[in-house]
Amino acid sequence: MALQTIDTTHRRDTEQTTNTPQTVLITQWKKKITIIIETQSTTGDGEIIMPTVQIEKQKTEISIPTTTPCNTTTSEYDMPRDDRWEFPRQSLTFGPTLGEGEFGKVVQAEARGILKPDAVTPVAVKMLKEDHLDAHMIALVSEVEVMKMIGKHDNILNLLGVCSQNGPLYVIVEFAQHNNLKDFLIKHRPSPEYSNVDKDVLSDKDLLTYAYQVAAGMEYLHSKKCIHRDLAARIRIF
């Protein structure tokens, strides 16, 4: 289906100065995101219903201090805040890029206080690139809402938080330190000579344990009426 590119440039016009000389009234166009979630009671079988995400362009007015730097950036989107998952973006420290596509990327980061107060946790942060379309934002917001509904389990990559206010959308998930299962298995397979000297070679018990963990994760998703549809060792799940 063809997608229409929508101009995301902010239009800001200083219309008037407020009564106090320390602030100025700014008019800007923003894209309001609305999330509609159908309750499970309407389906009757506990099935997860994909949320409906809508984007509507709206005109807003804000008052900002005259001392605000001219290069201060704001998000082009106005997203609803979910205090259960909102995480302060200033507590993120970004590292290397783990992977990227045409319109999005995943970056390794450290999140201070996301699991325990003052503790630093390695995480992966999914975000969109600047030239993304509204359709990509809708897809990312929908993904976040589904992860919220699925909940947490030891054998899936869990959602840890989101940064949705005053900047681009950041989706924070657990960091898979071994990348993916396929690369891990290749790295630790026996040598051609089948030598047992290498202590890192995986045993049959190890392989059965990994298979059990994958099955446990899929069983949990099934209990939530969710089908993965792309289960493979190459997926970053380990």
Which of these, 77, 42, 33, lies nearest to 166 by C-alpha position? 77
CB atoms within 10 A of CB 98: 17
Asked whether residue 126 is marked as a ligand-binding residue, the answer is: yes
Four-CA torsion 165, 97, 114, 182, nearest 10 degrees: 130
- Structure token digits, residue 19: 């009564």
List Cβ neighbours of 6 (8 Å cut-off, separation of 6 or more): 133, 134
What is the spatial distance between Cα 80 and Cα 169, in angstroms, rounded to a whole number?
11
Positive or negative: CA dihedral 228, 125, 10, 19: positive
Strands (E), the chain: 12-17, 23-36, 52-65, 77-78, 92-100, 104-112, 120-128, 159-163, 170-174
Exposed, middle or buried, 188 (CB in 10 Å: 0-12/13-18/19+)?
middle
d(C-alpha 163, C-alpha 137), whole Å: 14
Q: Of 13, 118, 204, 230, which one is the catalytic site residue?
A: 230
Half-sphere exposure of 182 (CA within 13 A, CB side): 6
Closest to 78 measured CA to CA, from 98, 61, 65: 61
Annotated active-site residue 230? The verdict is: yes
Binding residue ranges: 126
**Binding-site entries for ATP:** 126
Q: Which residues are catalytic?
A: 230
